[in-house]
């Protein structure tokens, strides 16, 4: 499903996406398109993309093609989903996960309805 969602191909595009999105939450999946964990996450993101388009925009970033943020955001997991709103990286809390986390890994099974509630 990664081919169905827009990709950001360099650090400048990632920065511009963060800087230019003022009214919606920016969701960025960092990882590899070929990774099974990312493929599952991409399916989830694609399935909600149309439903959340009024309050969120979703992009994918390959961390090999765009390594600029790997150290800054400690992108060591195979699949990481991050949320930004008005230039701010959001820390998302979820009762289902039992602790606050900055980076979501696929094995944690994030619940989108809970995340939406936490973000707004």
Is residue 2 within 8 Å of 38, Cβ to Cβ?
yes
pTM: 0.76
pLDDT 10s digits, 58-84: 999 999 999 999 999 889 888 999 999
Q: Based on the structure, what is the number of domains in the chain?
A: 1
CA distances in angstroms from 52 to 58, 65, 99, listed in the order given: 9, 27, 25
User: What is the CATH number for 15?
Assistant: 3.40.30.10
Query: What is the β-pairing status of strands 25-31 and 88-90?
Result: unpaired
Quote the domain boundaries for residue 110: 2-119
Q: How far apart are CA 85 and CA 83, in angstroms?
A: 7
Profile the chain (120 residues) by mean pLDDT over runs of 10 residues. 87 96 94 93 93 94 94 89 92 53 42 46
């Amino acid at each position: 499903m990664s081919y169905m969602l827009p990709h950001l191909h360099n650090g400048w595009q990632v920065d511009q996406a963060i800087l230019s999105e003022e009214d919606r939450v920016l969701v960025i999946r960092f990882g590899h398109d070929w990774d099974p964990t990312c493929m599952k996450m991409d399916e989830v993101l694609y399935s909600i993309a149309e439903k959340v388009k009024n309050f969120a925009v979703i992009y994918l970033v390959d961390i090999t093609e765009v390594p600029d943020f790997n150290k800054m955001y400690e992108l060591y997991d195979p699949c990481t989903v991050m949320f930004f709103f008005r230039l701010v990286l959001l820390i998302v809390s979820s009762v289902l996960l039992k602790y606050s986390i900055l980076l979501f890994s696929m094995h944690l099974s994030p619940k989108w309805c809970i995340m939406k509630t936490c973000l707004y």
